[in-house]
Structure 1
Amino acid sequence: MTELLKDALHKAAMFCAYQERTQQEVRERLKEWAVLGDDAEEIIAELIQQNYLNEERFAKSFAGGKFRVKGWGKRKIKQHLQQRGISGYNLDQAMKEIAPDDYQDTLKELLNRKRQSIRDDNPLVIKQKLVRYALSKGYESELIFSVLNDE
């Protein structure tokens, strides 16, 4: 490995150590540093071997964080992971990070909080706004209607 590649590997390792990354993000960063082709793939392989880069770990951490901190639904989380190049097994593992009971409880809590901020007396308008809000957060329509109809 040349001195230039060692330097790029060190910088990439620091980039990955700061927070979880995907291979796609590392490739883009290497491209910015003018490390391309086989050299970039060699660095990525080395990062994976040294456990700096692990897409399953990234997917689980991303899904858990977005769900707990931002209250995102599975559809939105899945979409964002796919945009980051995560698919298949890693995507499935990420979705398993979200417990079904917590998922429904979080949706109920989000809807209750949103209901308090809606300034309207018409129940249909309120329901429409709640559904639109929950859909924008990435929750499934069947679950949204089920939660709203239970209340």
Structure 2
Amino acid sequence: MEKKSYTFLEIKQKMVNYCVYQDRCHQEVEQKMWDFLLIPEAKEEILLYLMKENYLSEERFTRSYIRGKFYMKSWGRNKIRNHLKFKGVPEKLINSCFDEIEDEDYHKILAKLYEDYYSKIKGLQVYQKKSKTIKYLLGKGFEYEEITEIIKEREEE
């Protein structure tokens, strides 16, 4: 199949649309531009244009990614951090954007996930249920210390 060729301006507009549709990180934009077989100078020019015109903002992307993955998918900080690192977002930026998650919300959602999962497990000893629930929550990216804190609270009730 023959690839359709676009002019520089068409590609630039396509990249603007790509960024307007949803916040993107630099890596996603570069990956998308790769499909157009642009020369490095053209890629640079488009990237700079997107940043200058505020279509592309790594910080905005990181903040909306953190909010979305936590508030919509109930991911913990570890899973969010790993996925952002995989997308090439610098660790320092990731850490400075975690204030998008309120500590109280983090605690509440973790407690709710614990309750929901724990109460669904049938026919196991208490320690087995606990261990299975911890494993599940670690898989969702929550920190071990945070999980044990929730367990302590439950035991005190």
TM-score of Structure 1 vs Structure 2, range by shorter chain: over 0.9
Query: 1:87 Cα deviation (Å)?
Result: 1.1
Contact 2:70 2:76 in 1 (8 A): yes
Contact 2:85 2:91 in 1 (8 A): no
Q: Which residue of 2 aligns with 1:103?
A: 106
Q: Which residue of 2 aligns with 1:94?
A: 97
- How many equivalent residue pairs? 149
What pairs up with 1:23-102 in 2 under 5 angstroms?
A: 23-102=26-105
Q: Which residue of 1 aligns with 2:3?
A: none
Q: Which residue of 2 aligns with 1:124?
A: 127
Query: 2:92 & 2:145 partners in 1: Cα distance?
Result: 25
* Equivalent AA in structure 2 for residue 95 of structure 1: F
Deviations 1:75-95 (A, max 9, x none): 100111111111144212321
Select between 19-28 and 88-97 the one with higher mean Cα deviation: 88-97
Q: Which residue of 2 aligns with 1:144?
A: 147
Contact 2:26 2:58 in 1 (8 A): yes
* Equivalent AA in structure 1 for residue 48 of structure 2: A
1:14 and 2:17 aligned? yes
Query: 1:117 & 1:94 partners in 2: Cα distance?
Result: 34
Deviations 1:46-91 (A, max 9, x none): 0011111001000000001100011000010011111111114421
Q: Where does the alignment leave 5 or more consecutive residues of structure 1 unmatched?
A: none
Give the TM-score taking structure 1 as reference length: 0.94
Tell me the percent identity: 32
Deviations 1:109-148 (A, max 9, x none): 0011111211124101000011001100000001111111
Query: 2:99 & 2:91 partners in 1: Cα distance?
Result: 13
Query: 2:29 & 2:88 partners in 1: Cα distance?
Result: 12
Query: 1:106 Cα deviation (Å)?
Result: 0.6
